[in-house]
C-alpha cells in the first residue's frame, strides 16, 4: 500500500513570516498539532504545538510578533506519495515523529500521520511499534 492511499490531501500550510498567534489559531481550527511551513508550496519547515510552547511561551517571546521561521523545525523528514506505507512507519519510528509531509516534485501534496497508518488493519502493529518508539524517545528525553 502506498502513502497516497492513506494520506490527508487537504493540508493547510503557512509561510515563514506568519506569526505564531496566526499559526496557533490555524492549529485550533484544523484540530492539529503541527503545520507545514512552505515557501511557494515547497516545505521548508514544520511547526508544532511543542515548538510554540518551548521556543515562544517558555522563553517569554511575544506570540503576536514572533514569526514561525524563528521557531520552526527546519530539518523536515518527508515522504513521497508513491512510497510504501511501511517506509513511512519506519521513518516515523526512526526520527520519533508522528506526522510526515508528503512531497512530490518539491511540492506539498499531503500529510500522513501515525493514525493514518493505524487505520489499515495490516499496519496496526507497525504503527503501534512506531508510536511506542516515539513515546519511548520522548520519555527518555525527559530523564
- Give the pLDDT confidence score for residue 139 in this predicted structure: 45
Whole-prediction pTM value?
0.80
Residue 50 lies in a domain: yes
CATH of the domain at 91: 3.10.580.10
Question: How do residues 117-133 score in pLDDT, each as one tens digit?
Answer: 876 554 445 545 555 55
The rounded percent of the chain whose pLDDT value lies above 90 is 70
Overall number of domains in the chain:
1
**DSSP state letters, 33-51:** SEEEEEETTEEEEEEEHHH
Q: 84 pairs with which residues across the strands?
A: 2
Question: How do residues 40-84 score in pLDDT, each as one tens digit?
Answer: 889 999 999 999 999 999 999 999 999 999 999 999 999 999 999
Q: State residue 81 phi and psi, 5-degree precision.
A: -65, -20
Residue 67 lies in a domain: yes
19: containing domain: 3-138
Burial class (CB in 10 A: 0-12, 13-18, 19+), 97: buried
DSSP 8-state code for residue 83: S
pLDDT band at 140 (very low <50, low <70, confident <90, very high): very low
Q: State residue 48 phi and psi, 5-degree precision.
A: -115, 165
Amino acid at each position: 500500500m502506498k502513502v497516497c492511499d492513506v494520506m490527508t490531501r487537504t493540508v493547510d500550510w503557512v509561510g515563514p513570516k506568519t506569526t505564531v498567534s496566526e499559526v496557533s489559531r490555524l492549529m485550533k481550527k484544523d484540530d492539529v498539532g503541527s503545520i507545514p511551513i512552505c515557501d511557494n508550496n515547497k516545505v521548508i519547515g514544520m511547526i508544532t504545538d511543542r515548538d510554540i510552547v518551548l521556543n515562544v511561551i517558555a522563553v517569554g517571546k511575544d506570540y503576536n510578533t514572533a514569526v514561525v521561521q524563528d521557531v520552526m523545525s527546519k530539518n523536515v523528514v518527508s515522504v513521497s506519495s508513491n512510497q510504501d506505507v511501511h517506509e513511512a512507519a519506519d521513518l516515523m519510528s526512526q526520527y520519533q515523529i508522528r506526522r510526515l509531509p508528503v512531497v512530490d516534485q518539491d511540492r506539498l501534496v499531503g500529510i500522513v500521520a501515525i493514525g493514518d497508518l493505524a487505520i489499515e488493519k495490516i499496519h496496526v502493529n507497525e504503527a503501534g511499534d512506531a508510536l511506542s518508539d516515539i513515546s519511548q524517545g520522548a520519555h527518555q528525553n525527559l530523564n
